[in-house]
Amino acid sequence: MTRAGRATPWSAVPRQDGRRFVVTGANSGVGLETARTLAQRGAHVVLACRNADKGAAAVRDIGRVDGSVEVASLDVSDLSSVRRFAAEVVAGGDVDVLVNNAGILGVPFSRSVDGIELQLATNHVGHFALANLLLPRLTDRVVVVSSQSHRSGDLQLDDLDWERRGYSPYGAYGASKLANLLFLAELQRRLTAAGSTLRATGAHPGSTATGITSSSGPGLFAWVGSWGHGLVGMKPSQGAMPTLYAATMDVPGNTYLGPHRLHEMNGWPVGVGRSRSAIDPDLARAAWARSEELSGVTWPL
């Protein structure tokens, strides 16, 4: 792996025999391709999916692999579902790697069943809870999937419900993706302080042609986004490469990966930067505290 402009193609995912992965949102797009590649390399992969039928279809799509796959029900926006899923996963033994991948994009304002703005609930709070619930049984790492949209994110911790501001579907998405990276940084700080050998890594897929742009947000914007990604975006199999690198390669904690070409739109995995807000340690600690309040899940180590 090298810096942007000097990267060489990387697709040599090492063997993962005997390792257990959990991938959220694994029934389509980057999540499906991540799960497929890991299973092809010998891993056992838990496909955490909200829709059982789509999960079963993903298993058929993945087909025969060297490893194995199973489907488990998870609605990451519903904290009761997160707790139930975590208990079921832990009952099956240790988890080597958790890949927090599931997400929604640009949807009209609504609240989760727990009363949290839906994009924050889905993209961040549920994943925050899941990681902390699984942490005592993790053996390797947590992978946080964010987005270049974090750069436009404004995470106002005293107005997470957008009551003082006019709601912006894409502003809320950017805020949730900023929350992802603040979680990444603070999680690694806490792991290091606790003397843990676990690590947290992050990735973003650049411009990848997946269903998230066509299935989320207002109709016209969704259509334009889907058309644009289909025209210039990478295939999901390549868009999954930064996530796979973050999940399987020996990189330091708090490493953040994305595509190597201009504006991190496409290319092969390299270490990439993040916004000033995303590396603000005070904001990261404050965001962690608010996430504990919203989720009811606290630091377990």
Q: Write the pLDDT tens digit of every residue in 64-108.
A: 999 999 999 999 999 999 999 999 999 999 999 999 999 999 999
Higher per-residue confidence, 221 vs 25:
25
CA–CA dist 257, 264 (Å, integer): 10
Cβ–Cβ under 8 Å, residues 208 and 301: no
Terminal Cα distance for the chain, rounded: 32
Instruction: Give residue 182's Cα distance to chain centre.
Output: 13
- Written as six digits, the tokens of 107 are 């949807």
Domain boundaries, the chain: 20-295
CA–CA dist 232, 223 (Å, integer): 14
Q: Is the pLDDT of residue 276 over 60?
A: yes
The per-residue pLDDT for 83 is 98
CA–CA dist 40, 8 (Å, integer): 23
17 Cβ neighbours under 8 A, 6+ residues apart: 41, 42, 43, 66, 67
* Average of per-residue pLDDT values in the chain: 91
The per-residue pLDDT for 265 is 78
Q: Is the pLDDT of residue 250 over 80?
A: yes
The per-residue pLDDT for 208 is 65
Cβ–Cβ under 8 Å, residues 34 and 240: yes
pLDDT band at 209 (very low <50, low <70, confident <90, very high): low
Instruction: Give residue 127's Cα distance to chain centre.
Output: 8
65 Cβ neighbours under 8 A, 6+ residues apart: 36, 39, 40
Q: Is the pLDDT of residue 178 over 80?
A: yes
Going from the C-alpha of 38 to that of each of 33, 237, 243, the distances in angstroms are: 9, 12, 11
Q: Is the pLDDT of residue 164 over 70?
A: yes
The residues assigned a catalytic role are 173
The per-residue pLDDT for 223 is 44
The per-residue pLDDT for 196 is 98
Fold of 20-295: Rossmann fold (3.40.50)
